[in-house]
Amino acid sequence: MKKTILLLIATSLILPVSGMAQGSKPAPRKATGSRESQLKSQLSNALRMAQNGQYANAANNLFTLGRRPELAAERPQIKYILGTMLVELKLYQTAAFQFVDVIRMNNSKYSKMAIEKLSMVADILGDDTILNYAVSRVDVNDIPSGQKDMIYFRLGEIKARNREFAKAAELYSRVGLGSTYYFQALFNKGLAQLEEGNAPAGIDTFKRMVEARGNAPVTDVNKVEAQLALARALYQKQDWEASIEAYSQIPRDTVMWHDAVFEQSWAMLRAARFRSALSNFQTLHSAYYEDFYMPESLLLRAIVYLYICKYDEMEKVLNLFENTYGPVRTKIGDFIKSTNDANAYYLEVEKANIIKTTDKAANLRLPYIVVRNVMDQGDVKRSMHYLTRLNQEKRRVENSPSFRASALGQYSLKILANRSKNTKFAIGDMVKAHLLNMRVELRDLYEQAGFIRYEMINGRKETVKKKIAGKDLGDQIDDKVDRQFYIENGFQYYPFQGEFWLDEVGNYHYLGKQSCE
């Protein structure tokens, strides 16, 4: 990287001179010619500074020179080198603006180079807008081989977003084995194959990924994500037992484990392993999950109880669903109705982030479980990450008082402030979209809860009918003991009194049996 910059600067030191030689037309005025040569000498000085590693000084001088109308012809070159200086200073967002300017100038030499640099900078920043802008203009043939994998990966992402899954999978396949993007590309390829409806291909891809990460630590993110994706793919293939087994391979000390437990419960229900599913619910509905938004899990539990004719427990779970998610639904609705400002939506995320990461309290208008769920959505997470990058860059500028006071420093702060503001608005819009989805989802789930309640009443009626008809319903495990005990707790190894321990989470077992005829 450094070598390339030095070569570029060395070439640039010659260019102004040759530029002068080419422009051998008579100077209109002597004074103008002298000023121009002065400026070109300043430019040469700035480039020398850059060559000597004085990036901040060089960048400041280049920034000033880049605004001079006399150097309009050299502007693409100046801006491009300024951009590379800013990359060296880790001021990626400010650098991105220089590269965008160069691309817009449509200079035959520097535009292509700027696109390549912009792709790299956008990749570091993780900003979708810049990434799309850069990657959509890229001609892969112009990109050095070292950068091609990243471009294939990002192009694959764009295709996947446009729901062109076959093309996306093909682009992901081009990412080389040695690339840092390889495993992400492999994972995304599997997802694209699943989205295409090609579950067997997806399963093969994820198996390959799990095998490839065989020597990685147990909690390696790529390995665990691949394992989780494999379990999901097996579920999609309706291979319930294999899916359950794959889910059980997810290590407990990873954040993905919580999703795995819930999704495994679905697979267990489909495999008619009701007792096992209820064991998982003992964990998922423990106090450790009070901040988790999981309305579906309560309905799923009610359905399992329906299958094993535990109507009292079923009613308790349905009531819990209504008591918990009824107010949530109302609050989401009220918030959406009363709030239009995107910033207000963003502020909720910011406050929830304080609650999540510190012990401080924050006055949220939405329930914490809702905002926490929204914060975990991919697009919001990604934008929050971009915002963090912007803040880091801002700190870098502010930590150097001389640079901060310079014209470039002020320009940089202005750019960062604008980008931050716009990103916050964008996050606000994303939050609103997710809230609207949640409201719709809750409405649907409420309808389903109504159907489940109907089935519960029907089941009770049938049981009473059988009793009246004198049919022997058989011995039940809970015939001789207080029913309340089971309704509250399920059947445990010891009298469970509502106290949950971290080392017990995931180890609860439901020991009841079905109450059906």
Partner 1 sequence: MLKNGLKALIIIAAALLLHKTAFAVETVELPEEELAKESVLPVFDKSVSVKNRRVVTAKRWDGDVFYGMALTEPIYDVSKFGASLYYNFNENHAFGLMFAKYASGLSSYAKQLHDQYGLDYNRAPKPDMLLMGDYNLKVFYGKMSLTKSAVINTILYGSGALGMVKFQNKSYPAVAVGIGQKFFFTPQWALRFDLRLYANQAPIPFLSGKMTDGSSGSNPTTPPSYDDFDERLTYTTTLDIGLSYLF
Q: Give the phi and the psi of residue 428 in degrees, each rounded to 5.
A: -55, -45
Q: Select from 110, 172, 183, 257 the one that contacts partner 1 (CB under 8 A).
A: 257
Query: CA-based Rg of the chain, rounded to a whole angstrom?
Result: 31
Which residues ranging from 287 to 306 are in contact with partner 1 (CB under 8 A)?
Answer: 287-288, 290-291
Query: Rounded CA gap, 46 and 58, in Å?
Result: 5
Q: Select from 6, 166, 255, 473 the one that contacts partner 1 (CB under 8 A).
A: 255
Q: Select from 411, 425, 446, 485 the one that contacts partner 1 (CB under 8 A).
A: 485
The reply on whether position 484 binds partner 1 by CB under 8 A is: no
Query: Rounded CA gap, 287 and 504, in Å?
Result: 12
Residue number with CB closer to partner 1 (124 or 256)? 256
DSSP conformational letter for 506: T
The reply on whether position 279 binds partner 1 by CB under 8 A is: yes
The reply on whether position 507 binds partner 1 by CB under 8 A is: yes
Compose the 318-357 pattern: x for residues touching partner 1 by CB under 8 A, - for all others: --------------------------------------xx
Q: Select from 109, 330, 481, 483 the one that contacts partner 1 (CB under 8 A).
A: 481
Give the DSSP letter string of 108-145. TTHHHHHHHHHHHHHHHHT-HHHHHHHHTT--GGGS-H
Residue number with CB closer to partner 1 (102 or 371)? 371
- Residue 301 carries which side chain, given as an amino acid letter? R
The reply on whether position 270 binds partner 1 by CB under 8 A is: no
Q: Select from 275, 381, 439, 460 the one that contacts partner 1 (CB under 8 A).
A: 275
Structure tokens at 493: 């190894």
Residue number with CB closer to partner 1 (333 or 506)? 506
DSSP conformational letter for 292: S
Total number of residues that touch partner 1 (CB under 8 A): 44
Q: Which stretch binds partner 1 (CB under 8 A): 17-25, 162-170, 320-328, 508-516?
A: 508-516
- Evaluated on CA atoms 257, 260, 261, 262, the torsion sign reads positive
CB of 254 to partner 1, least distance (A): 6
Structure tokens at 364: 């949220």
Q: Give the phi and the psi of residue 52 in degrees, each rounded to 5.
A: -85, 5
Please identify which residue in the block is written with the tokens 């910033």. 343
Q: Select from 207, 208, 316, 509 the one that contacts partner 1 (CB under 8 A).
A: 509
The interaxial angle of helices 407-468 and 295-307, nearest 10 deg, is 20
Query: Rounded CA gap, 423 and 394, in Å?
Result: 15
Chain positions contacting partner 1, by CB under 8 A: 244-245, 248, 251-255, 257-258, 275-276, 279, 286-288, 290-291, 356-357, 359, 477-481, 485, 491, 493-495, 497-503, 505-507, 509, 511, 513
